Amino acid sequence: KQEVTQIPAALSVPEGENLVLNCSFTDSAIYNLQWFRQDPGKGLTSLLLIQSSQREQTSGRLNASLDKSSGRSTLYIAASQPGDSATYLCAVGGGQAGTALIFGKGTTLSVSS
């Protein structure tokens, strides 16, 4: 059974810091990995999608990497801002999940000004 773990569960940083969020998964037979952002009480906003054949994806200040063989992904946020405060969710698709996604519990980020 695919399990997704995100570390740390919570993170507080001052504005301007670069930070790394970690995601690990137990079954490497995935088709893709997707990072989402969720604001309190809201839905999920897709940040980055990495296909299983790719090593990384970048969007603005965000960079996500994927090491499929070791079952790991990282989300790097450069020059953090208070507006980055949210919960970040990692999800993997494929294998036992089929076309659906299996999620971690998320990392709640707080960036202070």
Partner 1 sequence: ETGVTQTPRHLVMGMTNKKSLKCEQHLGHNAMYWYKQSAKKPLELMFVYNFKEQTENNSVPSRFSPECPNSSHLFLHLHTLQPEDSALYLCASSHPTPETYGTEAFFGQGTRLTVV
In the complex, the residues that contact partner 1 under the rule CB under 8 A are 4, 30-32, 34, 36, 41-46, 49, 51-52, 89, 91, 93-94, 97-106
**3-state DSSP call for residue 106?**
coil
Max intra-chain CA distance, the chain: 42
**Shortest CB 41 distance to partner 1, Å:** 7
User: CA-CA distance, 35 to 90, in Å (whole number)?
Assistant: 5
**Shortest CB 48 distance to partner 1, Å:** 9
| Main-chain phi, psi angles of 83, to 5 degrees | -70, -10
Which of 6, 80 has the CB closer to partner 1? 6
| Tokens read off for 22 | 């970690």
**Shortest CB 96 distance to partner 1, Å:** 10
Which of 51, 85 has the CB closer to partner 1? 51
